[in-house]
Structure 1
Amino acid sequence: MAAETADATTDQVDGDRRREQRGWYVYDFACSVYSTSVVTVFLGPYLTSVAKAAADAEGYVRPLGIPIRAGSLFAYAISASVVLAVLLMPLAAAWADRTGRRKPLLAAAAYTGAGASAGLFFVSGDRYLLGAGLLIVANASLAVSMVVYNAYLPEIATPAERDRVSSRGWAFGYTSGALVLVADLVLYGGHERFGLSEAEAVRICLATAGLWWGAFTVVPLRRLRDRAVGHGGRAGAGSGLKQLAATLKDMRRHPLTLSFLLAYLFYNDGIQTVISQASIYGSEELGLDQTTLITAVLLVQVLAVAGALLMARLARTHGAKRAILGSLVVWILILVAGFVLPAGSPAWFYALAVAIGLVLGGSQALSRSLFSHLVPRGKEAEYFAAYELSDRGLSWLGPLFFGLAYQLTGSYRDAIVSLVVFFGVGFVLLARVPVRRAVAAAGNPVPDRI
């Protein structure tokens, strides 16, 4: 009887954990549409056009009297959102870990971001300040929500499950991004048939991303649960920045975890730069039209689903570290192929998009799951705040390197191949991290394969 009771209890625990995992996947499904449709595809060109409509004869807008070239507004707004996120993420992490109440924080960040994205519908005419402000709020909110979201991973998945669970989360995100992007392209491409102007179609696409984000966030909020913490107290008004300093100091006691973060900083910055600069490379260097570029983004989204799941399988047989190292070799080959890609050849650009899609999701998913093994128990949100800071807060290094390479050489081909440095350094640093020893040093059980 006791054995049957124990088995029933184990089944209940496993069932509850799987239920939470399914809810966790859906947050990626909810928020990834914003990253794809708003940030990657539509808002940059649209906000630039709005700023140009408000610009003076010299092409400048002047918020607070500061002259800003209209074409630079989107980039500056993204940079400002990073600064705001860097200030907010440690505050959020400290509050989440000290109180154990992550769901209210996830809800607040998600619905603030979703509301800001939906509000982009009202950006028209010369309302560039409204657009820039909503972009800053939405981007910073997404960053805060991802700190809380990622911190759930060690709680809802056993060490043996994390590669699979993390990869499925990314797969759900890329699936939603592709689904909504198809609908957006139908609306945008046929806006005249729907009785809409081009600007109205874009505004509907921007707002739809916010509505999607908010609607599907209900699922993780219903299925995820908060857990009691072993220490009391609440984070004070200034404790977040103090906590960030304390987290970085604490990481010095876990140098192998810090070594992984350094490796991740380099190769992830390379990944983010390739993604953000691919459209510029395609249009300026290869002479491809907007339809080709958007179709390539859609292709990346679809294949990233399969890529994330495929790399999760590789991690099960070869370990997450080896799978990531293999993906970095593929990224280097992608950059070399991009360097020699002939201009005016959409087919070859699509082939490059296929390769990017197959390694993009897996590289990110396995990095997240591997890092989750290196986090000391009870400090999940704090350490994932540092992880997000290395992801988002320092994501300006790659674009700066790309820009300097172009400025010095005048060639986008030289600029794109220069990013090999990020993947090469990241490969070497990651290869030197003894991950099994790092997991044990963090006080966590070591999986059979990692």
Structure 2
Amino acid sequence: MAVAKWECLPEFIIAQIFSYLRPSDRLTAGRVCLSWASALNSPSIWRNMTFYFDRDVYVLNNELPQIAIKFGHHTKRLELIWSQPQIPYVFQRESGILYLNILEIKSVQLQELTLRDFGFCYKWLYRHKVNIALVQFLGCQRSLRSFRIINAYVRPNDVLRLVFVAAESCGNCLKNLDLRNAFKKLHSSHSSPRFLESLNRMSALTNLSIDYHALSDEVIQALSNASHNLSKLNIIVSASKNWHQPLTDNVWNILKNSCRNIQVFFKVENISHYEELASMLTPSIPLERFHLHSGSLWDHRRSRNFRSTVRLLINQYNNTLVDLHFHIKNNREMLDDLLLEVITRCKRLCTLQYDGVLRSMEIIRDICNLFRNNNITRFKTFHLSPREINQRNRATIREIMTNFKEYFIKQDLDFLVEEPTSTIVFY
């Protein structure tokens, strides 16, 4: 039997294999033979570049500038990540700055730029050089469509400067802006004139992800004025101790009138009490998705009152909600009846996931009968993760799911019951 030789493989297959390697390993593989060296010049290998700005810079050292010179013009998506905890390499840090400078000189035009865990534990001089290199590189971009700063560990002014430069150079084409955990809670950006001016320049913006504490009526007003194409607003709510005044109902009406297709996603993390959530959830929000992760810690001096939270969602957003996800820990409130009400009253809801206590496993049978008897076909995903399932409950669940299995298959409904603490899944 003839044995296939590596050098006989088509170049596009070798290039695809190279795309799974780290940049340093790609360069090493390119020295093996002429066919591999030729495959190394394939644009598809270098179109998406991801590397750690501290660790990989140390490994590549002098080769990183060479990558920018030889292959930088192929790069369309660049992601720079900082190690957490950061790796204090001292001698090769200038290579990363030189890499950005070379991309700027070669006028490399990206489509996407991501800065993840962006921050420094180094001395001020190096931080200043990196900030300057990033600002200059962003300033030469003219076709950037997506800009992300996720989990920033720098001063708010550094983040604001980068956002402002991106808006100034690419405001007419920037469609996706992701600022999740970019502004620390103690240094909110919602009152910054530079931030408002940046948003006013983003006329093509369609997707914005941001923390709730970075929003204000002025920010929503700026979004309304800048882009009438804004369709997705993803809001992350993670803590309440540093909130400013909640957004007013009036400003949500302005946003809806300006952006007709706007869809809002609230992701609530480690917040439990109804009083806190009700202050944010005003009636005019075009709320499409709502995910609640309550966390395990709360103020024992008052009730979390999840029933009121669920009822508020049903009453105010029954015509807009498409996706609901409740991950409720240590809860003992009776919510079984409200799950049935959510199904019947939320007319657009097609995905529901509930991870919490069910008082009676018979509620699962009631839910299944409700789907079948009312011919509810809009649902695509329905997941339940009941807590405290015993041996008797397991038998009940298994019997219910067996009886309705054919119906779920016929309706193409992903109906799943599982135990959160084990690998047992009941179909």
TM-score by length of 2: 0.22
Larger RCO (alpha carbons 8 Å, 6+ apart):
1
Q: Going by fraction, where is helix more abundant, 1 or 2?
A: 1
Q: Going by fraction, where is strand more abundant, 1 or 2?
A: 2
TM-score by length of 1: 0.21
Q: Which structure is larger by alpha-carbon Rg, 1 or 2?
A: 2
